[in-house]
Amino acid sequence: MEIAEAQGKLNFAIDGRKLDADGLEVAPGIYSILIAGECFEARVERQGALLCVTVEGQEYSAEIIDSRRLRRGRGGGMEAEGRQQVRAPMPGKVIRVLANAGNTIEANKGIVVIEAMKMQNEVRSPKSGTVEQILVTEGQAVNSGDVLAVIA
């Protein structure tokens, strides 16, 4: 997605295709989006290492890859609260389990490593807390969205 600002207004384009879009945050994480006059309400929430965006009752998992690697350590200061389920961001194979049930863990510390498409991806804890459960073992195949661990 490319975003450009002109005359105080944001213009969006996806892969070069310009959007006729008007977006406004109406409450924290809640957006009113108009696309060519059609109304959408979208909600964005963190879900472990991923973002979850819900539109028209449908939920999507997403990851923002910032080409300038602007990602901050604690995701802008928002730490997940309450019991969190950590999910696989993509399908792959668990090649390493880095934490055990009962361990305390810090936000952003690795829990498991998933290998997919010849790349290794460390799935991190969304908060500081205790590892309540590890639900996968080394060598296990996982699908996108599968729960890997629960952090209390």
Partner 1 sequence: MFKKILIANRGEIAVRIVRACREMGIRAAVVFSDADRASLHVRLADEAYHIGPAPSRESYLVIEKIISAAQKAGAEAIHPGYGFLAENPALARACASARIRFIGPSAEAMEKMGSKTAARQLARAVGAPMVPGTLESIATFEEALTTARAIGFPVVFKAVAGGGGKGMRQIDDEGEMAAGWRDASSEALSAFGDGRLYLEKYLVRPRHIEIQVFGDHQGHMVHLGERECSVQRRHQKVIEEAPSPVMTPDLRRAMGEAAIKLARAGQYTNAGTVEFMVDADRNFYFLEVNTRLQVEHPVTELVTSLDLVKLQIRIASGEALPFTTEDVRIEGHAIECRIYAEDPENNFAPSPGKILERRVPSGPGIRLDDGVYAGWTVPSEYDPLLGKLIAWGSNRSEAISRMRRAVDEYYTTGIRTNLGLFRRILDSRDFQAGAIYTRWLDEFLKIPPAGVAKSDHALDAAAVALALWHLAQNGASENGKQAALAGVSEWKNEGRRDQLSRFPRH
The residue ranges that bind partner 1 (CB under 8 A) are 1-5, 12, 14, 19, 21, 23, 25, 27-31, 33, 35-36, 38, 40, 42-45, 50-51, 53-68, 70, 72, 75-76, 78, 81-85, 89-90, 144-145, 147
Least spacing, CB of residue 114 vs partner 1, in Å: 13
Minimum distance, C-beta of residue 124 to partner 1, in the bound complex (Å) = 17
Q: Among 84, 85, 142, 93, which residue's Cα sits nearest to residue 114? A: 93
The number of residues making up the chain comes to 152
For partner 1, the closer of residues 29 and 102 by Cβ is: 29
- Quote the least distance from Cβ 101 to partner 1, whole Å: 16
Say if CB 47 and CB 123 are below 8 A apart: no
